């Protein structure tokens, strides 16, 4: 592989890893607070992408600037994802909070199927994208290779800002400290006066917003079709399994590793593209069944 192909693989891998991290970040939060894998999380990604593309398509004929399009893309995703996440927690998950984890998993799968069909009712089977936004941001040359600024700078940049913002929220804000307390020990946190139900609502809303932003960031680079939610959420499961449940920094590193491995496979052995994330997950779990970054101490984010 020459330098140009290696550079292409690296940039493609990092941009894909950024999208994957946004999904895995929300999954990690929900798993930390509720101890359950939220299968419906992929629907946040799909709804975020479809909604953002719809708003961008509505603004384009009105000569909206690139900055307005970008703000509309992200703002729509945050709003849609936050509302969906809060509705899912308050209307469904709260009722199954103390039930068997297997039942909780089945409930999130049922919610995923409902949201998947709702998505088809709203947008149908017509492919959707917002490629005009990425084109407007122009290109940049790096070591003789031309890349879109959106792919090279915007997507990884927003993923890193999200990571840093969440770390600051958890460490330095009252709401974040309450969330960490609930993660460590829900019963003790409740006994100390923390409203665990409110923390759960905040967690689902935040996770939904992060997942939807991931979809909004993806839709200018790829076409959304029915089934995109399932593909992305399954791959994000590989990320959190590789990193270890409840590990935010670990999820970032695992996303980068999986994204780069997948991109290298595309340029060298395309037959391995689909299975590469799961091969990495299997190897890691064989060597470290609890994930790369899980420690023996109390569960933390």
Whether the pLDDT of residue 301 is over 60: the answer is no
The model's pLDDT over 16-28, given as tens digits with 9 standing for 90+, comes to: 999 999 998 888 8
Q: Look at the chain and report how many structural domains it folds into.
A: 1
Nearest one of 100, 105, 111, 103 to 47, comparing CA atoms: 111
Q: Which residue, 4, 80, 33, 297, is CA-closest to 179?
A: 33
What percentage of the chain carries pLDDT values higher than 70? Answer: 97
* CA atoms of 258 and 13, how far apart (whole Å): 8
Q: Is residue 50 part of a domain?
A: yes
Q: How confident is the model at residue 193 (pLDDT cuts 50, 70, 90)?
A: confident
Residue 295 has a pLDDT of: 56
**Rg, the chain, Cα only:** 19
pTM: 0.89
Q: Residue 298 pLDDT > 60, yes or no?
A: no
Indicate whether 298 belongs to any domain. no
In a domain, 204, yes or no: yes
In a domain, residue 293? The reply is no
For the cut 70, the answer to whether the pLDDT of residue 244 exceeds it is yes
Q: pLDDT tens digit string along 182-192?
A: 877 777 888 87
Q: What is the mean pLDDT of residues 166-175?
A: 87
The candidate with the shortest Cα–Cα distance to 227, out of 131, 113, 122, 130, is 113
Q: What confidence category does residue 297 fall into, taking pLDDT thresholds of 50, 70 and 90?
A: very low
Q: What is the pLDDT of residues 33-79, one digit of tens each?
A: 777 788 888 899 999 999 999 999 999 888 888 899 999 999 999 99
| 296 pLDDT more than 60 | no
In a domain, 87, yes or no: yes
Is residue 299 a part of any domain in this protein? no
Structure tokens at 225: 């079709």
111 CB-contact burial (10 Å; exposed 0-12 / middle 13-18 / buried 19+): buried
301 falls within a domain: no
Burial class (CB in 10 A: 0-12, 13-18, 19+), 168: exposed
Q: What are phi and psi of 2, to 5 degrees?
A: -80, 175
Range of the domain at 155: 3-287
In-domain check, residue 297: no
206: domain CATH number is 1.10.3470
């Amino acid at each position: 592989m020459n330098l140009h192909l290696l550079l292409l693989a690296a940039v493609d891998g990092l941009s894909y890893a950024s999208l994957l991290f946004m999904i895995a970040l929300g999954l990690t939060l929900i798993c930390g607070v509720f101890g359950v894998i939220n299968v419906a999380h992929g629907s946040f990604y799909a709804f975020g992408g479809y909604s953002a593309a719809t708003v961008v398509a509505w603004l384009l004929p009105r000569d909206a600037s690139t900055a307005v399009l970008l703000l509309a893309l992200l703002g729509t995703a945050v709003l849609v994802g936050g509302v969906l996440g809060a509705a899912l927690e308050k209307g469904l998950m709260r009722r199954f909070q103390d039930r068997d984890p297997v039942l909780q998993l089945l409930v999130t799968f049922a919610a995923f199927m409902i949201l998947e069909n709702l998505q088809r009712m709203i947008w149908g089977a017509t492919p959707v994208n917002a490629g005009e936004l990425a084109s407007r941001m122009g290109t940049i040359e790096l070591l003789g290779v031309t890349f879109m600024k959106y792919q090279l700078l915007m997507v990884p940049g927003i993923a890193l800002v999200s990571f840093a913002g969440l770390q600051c929220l958890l460490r330095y804000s009252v709401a974040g400290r309450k969330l960490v307390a609930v993660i460590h020990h829900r019963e003790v946190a409740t006994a100390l006066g923390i409203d665990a139900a409110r923390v759960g609502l905040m967690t689902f809303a935040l996770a939904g917003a992060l997942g939807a932003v991931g979809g909004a960031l993806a839709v200018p680079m790829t076409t959304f079709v029915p089934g995109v939610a399932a593909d992305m959420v399954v791959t994000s499961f590989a990320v959190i399994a590789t990193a270890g449940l409840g590990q935010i920094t670990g999820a970032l590193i695992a996303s980068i590793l999986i994204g780069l491995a997948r991109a290298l496979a595309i340029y060298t052995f395309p037959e391995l593209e689909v299975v590469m994330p799961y091969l990495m997950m299997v190897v890691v779990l064989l060597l470290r069944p609890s994930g790369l970054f899980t420690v023996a101490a109390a569960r933390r984010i």
